[in-house]
Structure formats: structure tokens, C-alpha cells
Structure 1
């Protein structure tokens, strides 16, 4: 796997990685629903042999064009923030200085009234404040920081779908969001080790996890099942945006009357373009990240929102020029996954 600077890109030609074809997109779509589905099952649903599916996925993952990763779900309030950063120096240099921080989970270089848009995650309110005040606010090349505290996730990026499967095909996979009831418990040392393995590769076999953690295969397999079924760990199948026909990522920042916030957020979460919808406390009270096919689609979507939702104002927006990190995964200039950090 390439391990170059996430913001600097590589010397390789962009044409070296063609866009994903229909079968590639269908495989990714299947794994978005059931990330650990067997290749035999994926092949049977798509009408191709398992060897072909496995070979395709191996190529996509090795090239950083698609991947399955994991994260630990948790309450948003007091732990998460969307931070707008204005840079006094070169935004690329500032991004490179931040991208390795564990707290920096997502980092976009953006247009408009901010140079960087940073998704920050911390263990608790104290840790979040420490990072914002002692790390971001004091950076030598940072001119200004504006923080929007996240109060709730209405749509998580891991719930976004490419939509390349028919309804019948999609229905044959088990939605990874379904979970068994159970009170949340603290993760054990083994749980943390399993989470780390799944962050690297959400499809890592139980045999490999067992070898890494030093436990029997059955225990490793049981730990994976328990963590996923109780939603203590969640899997996320992601894809290089520019290679799946969504060349434009935009952030929309909305001001919505408080009494209507929940309803508006729920409606926006149903938009097929919406990757992420969060309610916030700050300059805005709703932030939406969308993936679009063309730049003109952003204006079209804004008009659709303003025409369809009374008293809703899109107060600001920005276009992502480059994503250096997404959900802890380092990306190169073409949006290909190169490494995992955080």
C-alpha cells in the first residue's frame, strides 16, 4: 500500500486508475450493505463467480479505490465538532501538520470562507476542549478557528449508498445497521485489538485476527460477531469519490428554526446525495455533506432545498478541493486510501 503524503499525491498518472466499472460498483454497493458478506454470496447475487468477485475486490483495495473500515459508534454531544480553519500559511502545510492527529478524523481542504474543514472526535468534553484550545487554536499557521459542536448524527456517512443494486439484489444482503438489543459496555482489551484490526481491514478474516490477538479462532470470531451485532463496532465500506462518478463534494451549512430542526434534518437525510447530516450548536445548526456528479448539481440541490423547506436558509456552503483524511483513513490527492491513522 502506498504511504506518501496524503495531501501531496503521487507521481503516478491519474489515468493509471480508471473509473470503477459496473461490476466494481455493484460489489462496493453489496459491501456497503453487508461489509463481511462472503464472496460466494456476493457472486451469487450479482450473477458472477466468487473468484471473480474476490479478485475484483483485491484489486480495488490494493489500489486504494475502495475499502472496508471500522469505527466505534458513540454519543455525539460533547465529543464531536466540525471545525472551520482559516490558515495564515499554506493550507497544504497546515493540513499535513494536522492529518496525523488521532483527534482529527476527517480533514477537507475547502473553498469559501475557510481553508480547512476538520472533523474532530475526542473521548469526552475535556479532551475535545483541550484539542480545540491547545492544538488548533494555537497553531503557528492558523489565523482563525470556528467550531460547530455536533449534537446528533441524523445520517452517518457509513449509511450512504451508491445505489447500483436492484431492490431484489439489495434485499438479499443483511443490513449491517441491524443489531441485537443489549446495554452498552466498555470495550475490553481484546475488543480494542479486534477494533484495531477491523479499522485496518473490515473484512479481515477471523483467522488473521486470532493470529494478531493471540486468541483461538473461535474466540476471535465470537468477538467480531458480538461487537458488530451489538453495534459496539460499526463497519463502513467507502470508495474513492472521483472514481465512482461523484466528482464533487459540497458542505451546506443551514440555519433552521429550532422547532423544525428535527423534521428538516430527517428530510435532508433522505436525499440520495446526502452523505452526512448532523445537527450542531454554533453559527449554524445543521450541516450536510453531499456527493454530486457535477458542480452545477450543487446549485440545483440548494434550490430544491430552499423551495421545498419553508423557513430554511442555506447560510453558507463550500466545495471540497481535496480530502486528506476521512474517518481516520489517509487519502492521496486522487482520493485513494493510502494508510490508516486514528
Structure 2
């Protein structure tokens, strides 16, 4: 990928309505042929491919893939940091494979991290032995994800109409992951190859993975049909019109929590809705068009669900990393860092430096 300039792009350089339609089509059918994508949005296949290349070259949109069960445990770590250490910590944590997301927020804990681990002891070892010992980290608050109701791969741009969506999907909802273990080594190699660019062709994937093209087609078809892989077509939110990320920690009463979580996950603004440990047992992250929309959304939620209590709300000042993708200050994609699970507690890798497998490539 060519170097990305640091100046704020002018609005015309951002995605237009056709680009946004293209992104949504790829959100719905990530590996559909360009001819099918193009027919839905009213352009030809060559133009669709050229537009996508322009978006990816500029870091305005990107496609990635990762296992639906890339780890046994996901934790959300809030770090209270010395202000002077924030830049160094942000850069350091961006290089760590188990830290799949990094946000700088307005909360008392100014860094919000998504962390993947093999198991609970591994997560404990990673948080206390590595995160907690970083220079400039004053305290760490950890909550464990117990269920995900929606994550970023389920969010849509909402540019296409219902007829266009049906033409792409045939009316079928996207397959959710099935219970089961982690992918075996052959599938892991394929997923690693798709991580940086999930639109890569079968022949290219076969060469990189050391597999036959027929094997790649068969394995990928099986993983897609079984809901074993998340495909994620993402875009720079600032230039696409959703510059604000708001995160709410919500306390929901025991009876009815499941129904409330499903309702919150169904909001068009929702990027992440998960049940977590702690007094505030729901975590909700949304994309909005302005800071003023935070209050309006909060009032709408409490009007529909008066039994809820919002214990904490924050706005993200900068997303440095989103599901393995390093972003610049304007939200444009830079390098991809392979998502890995924190190593099992007690292994040499768990006490080593920040690692080689999680470094940017």
C-alpha cells in the first residue's frame, strides 16, 4: 500500500454515494463476483473493481476476514494512563496481535482495548503480566465478554434499498457462527492469508497457503457455509459521514436482559453490543453523525427500555486500531496486524516481549 498523507482530505476525495453502495454490497456479499456487485448498484464490473481499488489504495475502505471463534475468551480492557504516555502506549499496543482494537476515549480510563486470549488464565496473565506493567499505565479495568449480539461485521452502511439487498442475498440472513472448536491449521493458514485482504482470489490464496486451488475453494466454501469466518468490509467513518463513536456501559436487570440486548443490537447505529461481566452488564458501541446524537440516542434507548441504567458513556477521540487494522488520525487504513490470541499462561511466549507474530506486516 502506498504511503498515506497526513493532511485532512477534501470532501470530494471521500467516498461518494456509489462508493457507499459498493461498500454495502461487499458487506452483504464480501466475495461475490464483481459482475454481481456491479449489477446491483448500476455500474459495470470493471468500474466496480476500479472504484474498489481506488478506495483501498487511499485507505478509505478495506476488507478483512477472521475466525468467528478466533479465541476462547474476549476481554475489554480499560487503561488509566499518564497523559504523557498515551502516544507511546497507543503505538506499542497497536503492534500487539492479541490487542485487536485500540481506542482513545474521553472516559477516565482513556484507552479502551479489545483483547483475545486462549482461556481465562491466559487473559489474566496477559492483563496483569503485560498490560499492567507497561510504563505509564496507572490501572487496568477488565470485563469479560460473555456473549456478542452484534459486532462490526453485522453493521451496514444503509445505502442500498431493500430490493438491492434482496438481489444480493436472496433474502437469507447472514450465517452466524456455530458452536465448535478453533479452526485447524490448514484453515488458520487460509484465514491468515485473507486477513489483510479478504477479496484475494483463490489462485493467490493457494500459492500463499501452499494448497491447491481446489482445496482452497472447498475449504473457504465450507467455512462460509458454516459461519466459521467473519468477513468485514470497513470504511473510514470520518469521511463517510459517521465521525463519532459513542460507547455506553449499561446496567440491565436480570430478567429480560436478553431481549433488551437483541433490541439494542438491532439499532442501525450499533456496531457492537455484547454482554459483559460487571455491574454494567451490557456494552454498546455506536457510530453517530455528531456528538449531539449521543444524547438523542441515549434518550431514545431509555424511553424504550426505562428499566436500564447507563453507568458510563464516552466518546472515542481516535481509533488507532480496528480489528487488526492500524488507522491514521483520519480513520484511513494503514497496515494490518494479524490477530492472535494471548498465549497460554506459563508459556515462554506469555512472558516474552511484544512478539513477532503480532507485529505489523
TM interval, shorter chain, is over 0.9
Alignment match, 1:83: 77
Alignment match, 1:212: 208
Alignment match of 2:323 (pick from 327, 330, 335): 327
Whether 2:275 is the aligned partner of 1:285: answer no
Alignment match of 1:167 (pick from 137, 141, 162): 162
How far 1:260 moved relative to its partner? Answer: 2.5
d(CA) in 1 for partners of 2:217, 2:175: 18
Alignment match of 1:318 (pick from 314, 319, 323): 314
Deviations 1:13-52 (A, max 9, x none): 4338722101000000000101001110011111211110
Moved more, 66-75 or 140-149: 66-75
How far 1:325 moved relative to its partner? Answer: 0.5
Whether 2:238 is the aligned partner of 1:264: answer no
8 Å contact 1:2–1:338 — kept in the other structure?
Answer: no
**Residue 13 of structure 2: SS of its match in structure 1?**
coil
**Residue 168 of structure 2: SS of its match in structure 1?**
coil
d(CA) in 1 for partners of 2:47, 2:251: 48
**Residue 246 of structure 1: SS of its match in structure 2?**
coil
8 Å contact 1:176–1:235 — kept in the other structure?
Answer: no
8 Å contact 2:69–2:181 — kept in the other structure?
Answer: no
How far 1:187 moved relative to its partner? Answer: 2.5
Whether 2:223 is the aligned partner of 1:235: answer no
Alignment match of 1:177 (pick from 163, 174, 177): 174
How far 1:100 moved relative to its partner? Answer: 0.9
Listed as ranges, the gaps of 5+ residues in structure 2 are 340-361
Residues 72 and 52 of structure 1: is their aligned pair in 2 closer, same or farther, counting only changes over 3 Å? same
d(CA) in 2 for partners of 1:168, 1:285: 37
d(CA) in 2 for partners of 1:330, 1:284: 29
Alignment match, 1:132: 127
d(CA) in 1 for partners of 2:130, 2:12: 36
How far 1:182 moved relative to its partner? Answer: 7.4
d(CA) in 2 for partners of 1:314, 1:166: 34
Alignment match, 1:7: none
Listed as ranges, the gaps of 5+ residues in structure 1 are 5-9
Alignment match, 2:346: none
* TM-score normalised by L of structure 2: 0.88
Alignment of 1:190-209 (within 5 A): 190-209=186-205
8 Å contact 2:69–2:182 — kept in the other structure?
Answer: no
d(CA) in 2 for partners of 1:176, 1:329: 26
Residues 324 and 182 of structure 1: is their aligned pair in 2 closer, same or farther, counting only changes over 3 Å? closer
Moved more, 184-193 or 303-312: 184-193
Alignment match, 2:183: 187
8 Å contact 1:3–1:339 — kept in the other structure?
Answer: no
Alignment match of 1:102 (pick from 88, 97, 103): 97
- Computed over aligned residues only, the root mean square deviation of the Cα atoms, in angstroms, reads 2.0
Residues 110 and 48 of structure 1: is their aligned pair in 2 closer, same or farther, counting only changes over 3 Å? same
